Every structure is written in C-alpha cells, then in structure tokens.
Amino acid sequence: MAKGILLVDDAAFMRMMLKDILVKNGYEVLGEAENGLKAIEKYKELNPELVIMDITMPEMDGIDAVKEIKKINAGAAVIMCSAMGQQAMVIEAIQSGAKDFIVKPFQADRILEAVKKVIG
C-alpha cells in the first residue's frame, strides 16, 4: 500500500528531487507546498501520513508550520530538511515535534531511511 506524503520546500527542484526518490521507492506523494502557510492548508486538505518539510521558507518557516500542524494532529509525522550548519534550527524543529531530519544536499538512502523509520 502506498503511503501518502506531503512535500514542503520553497525550491521546486528540491520538491522534484524528493518526489522522484520517493515515487521510485513505492511511496505516494499526495501534494506539494512552497511555504509553511500552504503546508498547513494542504495538511488539512490531504491528511497525509507524513510531511517532509524544509526549515527555511518565506511567509512561514518549517518550525512554525510544524507547531501548527501538531495543533491540528498531535500525532502528525514530520521530517524536517535543513542545509548544513543549521543545527540550532534542527534542534528547535525536533523540540517542536518533528520526528527526524534530513540534510541537504539530499542523499536518497538517507531520505528513505528516515521515511521508513517514521512511517515504515
């Protein structure tokens, strides 16, 4: 059975790369959003099993979006993405409810390992 995932990143090519890796490995990408505000709207609309979200985005960052998504569903599964050198933000994201994080540039095996760990 396919697992529904929502991808959130302000860079379209990053969403495309993630989608490509996930779809090739049997996961279903339900939707995409380019910032935290849109991510919350899409989360309510799609009710995905997992959200993979960038930390640094315009309008609303990933940390604030995780907090809002957790208000909607306390059990929401979120994996954060960050660039190298954003350790403080990663820690804040985990404290805000993210289950795991992956570092850019993405490595397919690390993405799949994080997804399997969080949703199987």
Q: What CA–CA distance (Å, rounded) separates 88 from 95? A: 11
Give SS3 for 61: coil
- Tokens linked to 36: 């935290």
Note the pTM of the prediction, 2 decimals. 0.93
105, exposed or middle or buried, with CB in 10 Å at 0-12, 13-18, 19+? exposed
Give SS3 for 50: strand
Question: 115: how many CB neighbours lie within 10 A of its CB?
Answer: 24
Instruction: Please say whether the dihedral angle defined by the alpha carbons of residues 12, 13, 17 and 23, taken in this order, is positive or negative.
Output: positive
The overall average pLDDT reported for the chain is 93
Q: What is the pLDDT of residues 44-82, one digit of tens each?
A: 999 999 999 999 999 999 999 999 999 999 999 999 998
Q: What is the pLDDT of residues 21-30, one digit of tens each?
A: 999 999 999 9
Q: Are 31 and 53 in contact (CB under 8 A)?
A: no
